[in-house]
Each structure stands twice: as structure tokens, then as C-alpha cells.
């Protein structure tokens, strides 16, 4: 065999040995590449998961902040709405009290001028409507406001009603009295009744000066009252209940003192209510459920 043949055989042997080696190296390289790819994939997944968690946390924080802002805004709006509702309720109540007091005073004032039954009926109806409006407004105050404001409103109503009751009753007495007409004939039943009421007024005035000293004055007052009863019945203008009402209000009466007290007390209670309401609306008063 010549040298060329030997070289070819050697080259073929070397090539045969190099193929497995190349395959082995290639496999190693493939495994290394796979490991690198797996590690890279795991790192990418970990990075993606970390990024996702951070995004979720940021989204949750943003949502919570937005929700807190909405809640705070809603709370502020509700507080403002409640304040406005209470302000309206308080103002409505104060106005209703004023209208009732005015209506009752007008009823009493006009009753002294003989306005007639139709006008008196209108005035009585106006007073009753105003009283009901005042009581309704007080209930709204009790529902809308804290308990101390409701108590203050109720005290105002009590004093206003006492005052109004006296004025309505006095107006009725005045109208009963005005049924009697001034006549010249001393024997006329209406003239006799007017004189009897005048005598009763004088007798009660004397007794009021010496209430515990002279039994004779008491007897005189009783006789004058009985005479007034008989004279009023004789006119034919009154029912028996009207006679007792009219005669019962001749002279000093305990309700007169109650009326004077109620007038002053009503002003104090109205002032206390206004002060409490103003403090509550401005947030300077004591909190109360």
C-alpha cells in the first residue's frame, strides 16, 4: 500500500473517532443550553410574578385610596345635608311659633272690637291652624335634631299653648259680654245684666283688697255673683254654660297670673331654643344623640 492509501485510511479513522466526540460535545452544549433556558425561564417567571404582585398591590392601594376619598366625600355631603335639613327644620319651627303667637294675639285683640261671629270664626280657625302647624314643626325638630333641641322646642310649645289658650278663652268671654247692648231703660233685661256684672266687678275688687279680713265682703261677692247669674239668664241670650263662663271671669282670676308668667317664660324658652339651635348648627354645642 502506498503512502496515499495509508493517509486516507488514517484520515478515515480520525474522522470516525471525531464523530462521536462531536456528538458528545453537541449533547453537552444542548444540555447546557436547556439548563440556561430553564434558568432564564424561571427567572423570567419570577420577575413576571414579582411585577404582577407589585402591580396588584399598586392597584389595591389606588382603589383603597379612591374608595376612602369617595367615602370621605360622601360623609361630608351627608353631614352637610343633615345640617341643612336641621337648619330648615329649626327655621320652620321658629316661624310657626311666631305665626301661632301672632294669630292668638290677633284673635284676642279683635274680639274686643265686636268684629262679629263670622270674623271671630275666621280668627279662631286661623289660630287653631297655626297651633297645629307649630306642633307639627316641633315634631320634625324632635326627629331631625338631637334630643336637647327637641326638648327645647317642646318647652317653647308648652308656653305658647298656655298663652294662646288664655287668649282664646278671653276672646270667648269678650264675645259673650258683647252680646249685651247698652240700653237706656233701667228695667230692660240687658241693662239689668250689665249693671249686675258691674256690681259683681266692684264686689270682687273690694274682696281682692281684703281677702281674709271681712266675711261680709265674701257674702256680698256671693250675692253679686248670684244676681249676675239670674240677670244673664233672664236676657235669653245665653246658654247656662255661657253664663258660668262669663260670670266666672269677672274679677281677679288665677289664669291672669298664669298668662303673665307664660308671656315672659315664652320669650325665655324661645331664646334658649335659638341659642341651642345656633350652637348645634355651628358645631359649638355639646353633642347629644
Residues whose CB is less than 8 angstroms from the CB of residue 101 and which lie 6 or more positions away in sequence, other chains included: 160, 163, 164, 266
Residue 39's φ and ψ, nearest 5 degrees, are: -65, -45
As a whole number of angstroms, the distance between CA 262 and CA 158 comes to 9
Q: What pTM was estimated for this model as a whole?
A: 0.67
pLDDT given at position 249: 82
* % of the chain surpassing 90 pLDDT: 41
- What is the per-residue pLDDT across 188-203, written as a single tens digit (0 to 9) for each? 999 999 999 999 988 8
Q: What is the mean pLDDT of each run of 10 residues along the chain (289 residues)?
A: 53 51 61 67 72 73 65 60 87 96 94 85 95 96 91 95 92 89 86 92 79 74 91 93 89 72 91 92 64
Residues whose CB is less than 8 angstroms from the CB of residue 221 and which lie 6 or more positions away in sequence, other chains included: 200, 203, 204, 206, 207, 251
How deeply is 141 buried, as exposed, middle or buried, from its count of CB atoms within 10 A (0-12, 13-18, 19+)? buried
- What is the per-residue pLDDT across 77-111, written as a single tens digit (0 to 9) for each? 656 767 888 999 999 999 999 999 999 999 999 98
Cell numbers for 82? 343633615
Domain borders along the chain are 65-179+253-289, 181-237
pLDDT given at position 49: 72
Residue 73's φ and ψ, nearest 5 degrees, are: -65, -40
pLDDT given at position 47: 77
pLDDT given at position 30: 66
As a whole number of angstroms, the distance between CA 225 and CA 16 comes to 155
Q: Which CATH number fits domain 65-179+253-289: 3.40.50, 3.40.1710, 1.20.120, 2.60.120?
A: 1.20.120
Q: What is the DSSP letter of 185?
A: -
Amino acid at each position: 500500500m502506498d503512502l496515499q492509501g495509508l493517509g486516507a485510511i488514517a484520515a478515515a479513522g480520525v474522522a470516525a473517532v471525531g464523530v462521536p466526540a462531536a456528538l458528545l460535545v453537541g449533547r453537552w452544549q444542548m444540555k447546557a443550553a436547556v439548563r440556561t433556558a430553564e434558568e432564564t425561564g424561571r427567572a423570567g417567571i419570577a420577575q413576571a410574578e414579582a411585577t404582577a404582585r407589585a402591580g396588584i398591590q399598586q392597584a389595591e392601594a389606588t382603589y383603597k385610596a379612591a374608595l376612602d376619598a369617595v367615602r370621605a366625600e360622601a360623609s361630608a355631603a351627608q353631614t352637610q345635608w343633615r345640617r341643612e335639613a336641621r337648619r330648615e327644620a329649626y327655621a320652620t319651627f321658629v316661624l310657626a311659633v311666631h305665626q301661632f303667637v301672632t294669630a292668638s294675639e290677633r284673635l284676642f285683640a279683635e274680639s274686643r272690637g265686636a268684629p262679629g261671629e263670622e270674623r271671630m270664626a275666621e280668627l279662631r280657625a286661623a289660630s287653631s291652624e297655626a297651633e297645629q302647624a307649630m306642633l307639627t314643626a316641633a315634631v320634625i325638630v324632635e326627629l331631625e335634631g338631637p334630643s336637647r333641641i327637641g326638648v327645647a322646642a317642646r318647652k317653647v310649645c308648652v308656653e305658647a299653648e298656655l298663652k294662646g289658650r288664655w287668649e282664646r278663652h278671653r276672646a270667648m268671654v269678650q264675645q259673650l259680654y258683647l252680646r249685651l247692648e247698652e240700653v237706656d231703660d233701667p228695667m230692660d233685661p240687658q241693662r239689668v245684666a250689665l249693671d249686675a256684672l258691674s256690681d259683681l266687678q266692684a264686689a270682687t275688687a273690694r274682696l281682692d283688697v281684703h281677702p281674709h279680713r271681712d266675711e261680709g265682703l265674701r257674702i256680698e261677692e256671693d250675692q253679686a255673683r248670684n244676681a249676675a247669674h239670674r240677670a244673664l239668664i233672664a236676657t235669653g241670650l245665653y246658654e247656662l254654660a255661657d253664663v258660668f263662663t262669663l260670670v266666672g271671669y269677672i274679677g281677679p282670676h288665677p289664669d291672669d297670673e298664669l298668662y303673665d308668667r307664660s308671656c315672659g317664660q315664652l320669650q325665655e324658652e324661645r331664646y334658649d331654643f335659638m341659642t341651642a339651635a345656633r350652637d348645634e348648627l355651628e358645631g359649638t354645642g355639646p353633642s347629644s344623640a
